Structure formats: structure tokens, C-alpha cells
Structure 1
Amino acid sequence: MHERLTHFREILRYVPRFRDRVFVIALDGAVVEDDNFPNLLLDIALLRSLSIRVVLVHGAALQIKRYGELIKMTPSDIDGTGITDRETLNVAITAANRVTHEILEGLTANDLRAVCPNALVAHPAGILGGVDHLFTGRVERVDTGLLELLLERDIVPVIPPIGIDGAGASYRLNSDAVAVELAKSLKAVKLVYLNTEGGVRDARGAVIRQMTAQEADAVLKKSRAELPPGAVTKLTAAVRACKEGVERVHIIDGREQEGLLGEVFSNEGIGTLIHANEYQAIRQAQKKDVRAVFGLIQQGVQNDELLKRSRAELEKIIGDYFVFEVDRNPVACAALHTYPEENMAELASVFVADRYGNQGIGAKLIQFTEGAARRRGIAKLFCLSTQAINYFVQKGGYALGTPDDLPPARRERYEQSRRKSQVLIKQLSDRPA
């Protein structure tokens, strides 16, 4: 197990939040055939043992392509987004049935009851761009009552990328889109996409750990041509899911051992998290956050970025702090200490956990804290820095100051610290300080 999951307490910390809630887990067909699939089933069994309700959706693109080669035909559509002719539909049904059966076999081997229900009512995609898409379909309705009945009885629904209309005709569906419809209908707390590519990557090839739905939409508009096709469909689905009520969407590599647990039960994760609203991620710190904020400050002290504070001191001023959350866990902090007599405030203790660096979180916290100062009518903001001076001057709009610019009480502590930090000043209003 990953080191971050060594202690079972790390998992138990999340359990109250997820108990009796629904996870929709979407697996690419290639994930089902990977050597890690048996381990993935163990992860799912653990989720069920923690009273987390699981719905599985699967794709079959790899199997459709392979079966087409076997019978010497080229499918007209692989992933359920193009045109599906009759022959391709038959191949898709055969391939999807095989994948469904493999999943049912694996769940049974882990003592989990499972079933493949006819829970998707579909209709033809119709004529798009002047072209009839034939047997490509869209989800018209999810039989939520049927799925909820199965979940209440501890039965895992396994949903293939095939839908049936009211007349009994079958249609090929895109599994990523199906997962969104299921997550919406069941009010899932998480939608997890498991692929063989891992999370969404930036221009440097590094996995983007977390994005808001708005940021993900911007990535699609700017870099669609550079992204792999699978990343485009999943990112598109994730944005739509967030906009339509799903709070958290994860895109991870299904081949990584215990990757599902590592993504769900830790702050760090292994893939890309897309979440619904960035401003819900920043909030004022509360007493329950003292431990987390103290841990962040300790990391900053070790890096010689922050001034040391005792936990007792922090408890007294925790109301001055703001935290940035990822999946409801504080991963960054900032403080706003006010000096009413001088109508000034200090921006302090800005720190982002190392694993969330270079994602713009620090900038968002600084902007948020500055906004809080403006709303309070603060005329002048100051901060002390030893390592981020250029950032505050070039991007933050601060000017270089001197210790004489500090309020007397803060000047005294400045001299005592002997850190020789640079004083930076920013005028927020024309009101005299």
C-alpha cells in the first residue's frame, strides 16, 4: 500500500463523509484487461466494506477494435461518439457483453453481489451536422429507482455502453457520457474515470493535480488539439458533470496499484481532480483547522519561508487565517492580521503544501485575502518576505518598503525576529493609514 495509506486512520478520516454515498466508477475497456484489474477489484471491495455505494460503468473500445480485427471488419465507430452502422453495433454488443461478464466474474470472486441491469433508456443521436449517426445513441433517461433498489441491497450495478429504447432497439453509447448521466441521476459524491493514460497533463508533461471546472474548460479550449483523444472526452465529461451538480470528478490511471484508494483517501491523489467551484475551496479557518494549519506552517518554517508559531499561539488567532481546500482538506493557508489604529493589515503565513505547488493556489489565496482586506476598509496592506520578493513586486503590485512603514507593535516583533525580511507595501485605498 502507498506510504500515505499505511495508517488505516488516513482512510477512516474520510469514511463519515462518504458512508452511504454513491461513487460512480468508469473503467476503460483497456483497464479491465490490465494485470492490475484484480487489485482494482480489491479496492472496490474495500469501498463496499466501508458502506460506500459503487456503480461501475465500463467502456469497450479496445475489445471492439480487437473483435473487429478477428472477424476481419473495421468498425465504423470505436468509442460511441461517431457513426455506428448495424455491423459495428453487433460487434459493440458482443464486445461489451464480454467485458461485463469479466467484471461480474471478478466481483463474484471478491464476494460482491453484482448485476447488469437494463437501467439506461436510450434514443438515437439522430442527424448531426447533416449526417445520420444510425445506431449511435444518447441516454434519454436513467432508471434511478432500479439502481437505488440494487444499491440499498448491497448489489453493485455494472453498466455497459449499450442502451435500449422503448421499442427494444439497442444503441451504442459513449461510456464517459453514460457515467455523467449516472452520477447526476444518483447524486454521486464522486465520479472516477479510470484509464490507461493517467491524469491530464500540462505542456511540460506533468500531471495537473487539480482544476476547477472553469479551468478545465479553458484547457479544452486552448489545448484540445494537443491533448490525447481520451483526455478530451473525459475532460469534456468532467466539465459537464461539475456544471450539472457533481462536486468532484477524478481522472486517474487504472493500472497503478491501489491508485483508486490513493486518489480517494488522500489529499495528494495520483491523477487529476476537477471540482465544481473554486471559491468554495477558500474559506475562513475554524478551530478544527488548527492542526492542519499548524502542519502547513511547520513545513514553511522548515523551508525558512515562514516565521515559527507555537500551536497555542495559533489557536488564539486561528480566526485570522484562510485555508484553501482540495476535497475538503486544507492544502494551503494565508493570514490577515489587522492593526485597526493604523488602518493597516498584514498578509502573512502564505504557504502551499509542496505537492500542490505551481498550480496557482498561492496566488488565489493572496487575491482572496486582499479582497477580504478591502471589504474591511483597510487602507494599506503589508507583508514580510525573504524568498518571494520578486513575486509580490512584479505580480502582486507591492512596492518595496522599510521597517519604518510597519505599525509600532509589528516593528517591535520584526526587530526581535532578526530575519531581516523585506518589507513590502500595497496601498488599497486613498484613505490615510
Structure 2
Amino acid sequence: MPLSGPPRLRPALLAAGSAALLALTAAVPSAASPSAPAPAAGSVVLDWYDATARTVAAAAAPTQITNSRTWAIGWIAAARAAREAPGGSGRGRFQDAAVASAVHDALVALAPSRRADLDAALAATLGGIPDGPAEDRGVAAGARQAAAVLAERAGDGLDPASSNTPFSVPAAAPGVWQPTPDGYAPAIQYGNRLGRPFLLERADQFRPGPPPALDSRRYRADLAEVRAYGSADSSVRTPRQTETATFWYGGSLTLFTEPLRVAVARSHGSAADRASLVALFHAASVDTQIATSDGKYTYVRWRPVTAIRTGAVDPDPAWRPLHQTPAHPDYPSGHATYAGAAQTVLDALVGPVTAPFEITSPTAPGVRRTYTAWSGLTRDNVDARVWSGIHTRTADEAGVRLGEAVARHTLRNADRLLGGGGLGVQPSP
């Protein structure tokens, strides 16, 4: 069940999420001045959210979990630093400086090729904060926390080489994953299950039960649905369903960057609250990807294209999915797991419903989708993977449940990640 936090806390953390997303706008250096106007509430978090998005896009690793790790490290440092702010009139200036300093230092360490842009963005932020002890102490807190989180995460096994540790494909057998057309690429993301989580005790902590037996009614229903609706030349899939499949075919990290920014931008919380939202969202997404890999490579379930072409249920060697199948096992679905975690964090810390917002997708140029609830993103992810012909509905639904479980664990243990002070959130069990 999606989490629900106390209503009094949702506005604060909503602000955290929205502010984080605007950080990608280009920053122009400006001279520091004691009389410079203070930044508008939330603008610094949004500026550095956008700076993070721009940096990750420009210096992207080939593995999603590595890019998610970059987001998590920068924003955990920002949240910790901002939460150090003392009370009093300088609290907001301290938090803004701390967020900018922490994210800047983490990104420079993780994407050194972007230093010039990041230095310019930091100069612009600090130029808008009145000089004084609050600014100086915030900058120092950010630098200290960035260094600390980078040291904590050193050697965590979430680099591209570790993520794609070679996997020995089992002998072909009914139900067992094999490389898929077109290309029959080797398995990817096997090493994610061996990476060090942020908060999970073990990769298998919330491992789902096994997928349906090949002679079960549920398995036959799953296969029939994918065969009919996920075929490249389906006669039953509607244009709207095809558009949904294409829209959500892109990577989860990219597709959820806009929704999270909406959440952050609409928040009225402090910089510390907003930074905490971004940090928890991405820590949960990393742990979710670790848990997903554990499930996939425990059950090693074949993909629909293999089942339909070579299985015992009305085999059709010529069947083709609408979209090319990713090179890893079916169960559970990684897109659905990511969506379940994202919805759980946003429902708990922002509230399940918001004013209408539009998002775009790199795999569906020119298409804009409108949503009013985070659950709508999850629903479309589940359907899209079936209509793309690349997942069974059972794999999608198991993925959502796994993501929810991991995110609930993240929220229950937020103070372990972010330090004392608490979010005041008591997720339901």
C-alpha cells in the first residue's frame, strides 16, 4: 500500500522535490555582494536539481544505477549539510549555501569534466546569498558532507564495470532466460545485485516469491495478453496503447526526472526538506535496482519473446514484440519496480494527488502526457511493458510490490541516511 505521511509534512517535502529539479538551468557567475538580494524560496534547490540533471545527462555513465548513485550521493550530502543549519535569521542562507556547496563538490568529484559549468553555477548561487557567517558556515558544511558521503560510498560496486559483471547463461530449458532478438546481446545488470545498498541490509531482503509455474492458469493468461497486445503487428492494441508503450520505453531515471521536479517545485518546505526528498527518492531508486537484479538473476525467467517463439503454448517462431527486449530476465520488471518505489516516496512525502502536470519522453518526441497522481505513472509503466511485448503483467506487478517494499524501508530508516532531526514521517508497515 502506498505510504502516507502526516499532512503537515507534505508541503515541506514537496518543496524539496520541486526545488531540486530546476537546478539544470544555466548559471551565470555574479559578483558576491553583501547587498545582493536573497534567492527566492526554493530557487537554490531547483537550480542545483537542474545542475545535477544537466551534469548527469552530459557525463552519463552507461549504467543507470551508476547515474542514480550520482544523484543520491550529491543530494544525501546536501540534505545532511542543510539539516545542520542553526535556528535564527540566517538559517535559510546557511541551507542554500550548504545545498549548493554539497551538490557542487559531489558532482565535481563524480563528473570532473563538468567542473567549469559547476563552478560557474556555484559562483552564481553564492553571488545571490548575502555574505556573512551563515553563508560561510553553509559552504563549509556542504563541502564537509560531500567529502564524507563520497568516502562512505567508495568501492560500493555500483560502477559500470561492476554493474555489468559477466553472467553465465544457463542451458536452454523451458522458462529459463536466454539472450533475445534482435542482437541476442549478453545479459546486463547482473552485478547490481552485488553492489552495496544505501539502506537495505541485503539484496534479497524483499525478494518476491517465484513467478507462476509454466502450467498455471496465470502463466497462460500472461502469455496470451503479451502475445495479443505486445506484438509488433498487433490488431488489438489501440493507438493510445501503442503511444503509452513508446512513451514509457525510455530509461526510468530519465522518465522520472520531470515528475520529481514537479514535486520539488510545488513544495513550500525548507531547502533541507526539499533536499531530503531528492535524497530519499534516489537512495530508494538505487536500492530498488539492487533488489531488482537480485530477483531477476535468482529466477532467471525467460522473456515473452522466447516463451512465445519456443515454448509449449502455441509456439510462433515468427512472433516479434513491438519494442526490442532488454538484455536481462523478465521477473520482476525493473521499470515497474522503479515506478513502485518512486510512487511510494512521493505519496508519503508529497501526497498522492497534485494539480495536473505534463511530462515528456525521449522515446516519444512531441508527445506530452498529463497526470494528476503519482499512481498514474505506475499504472502506465505496468501497462506499457506488456504493450511493448517485453514483460508479462505478473513481472510488472511483482516489480511494483518490490519497489514499494524497498521504498517503505528507505522511509522508515531515513534518519540513518540523513542524520538526526527526523522527517516526522511514520510510514505504514
State the TM bucket, normalised to the shorter chain.
under 0.3
Q: Which has the higher contact order (CA 8 A, sep 6+)?
A: 2
TM, length-normalised to structure 2: 0.25
Larger C-alpha radius of gyration, 1 or 2? 1
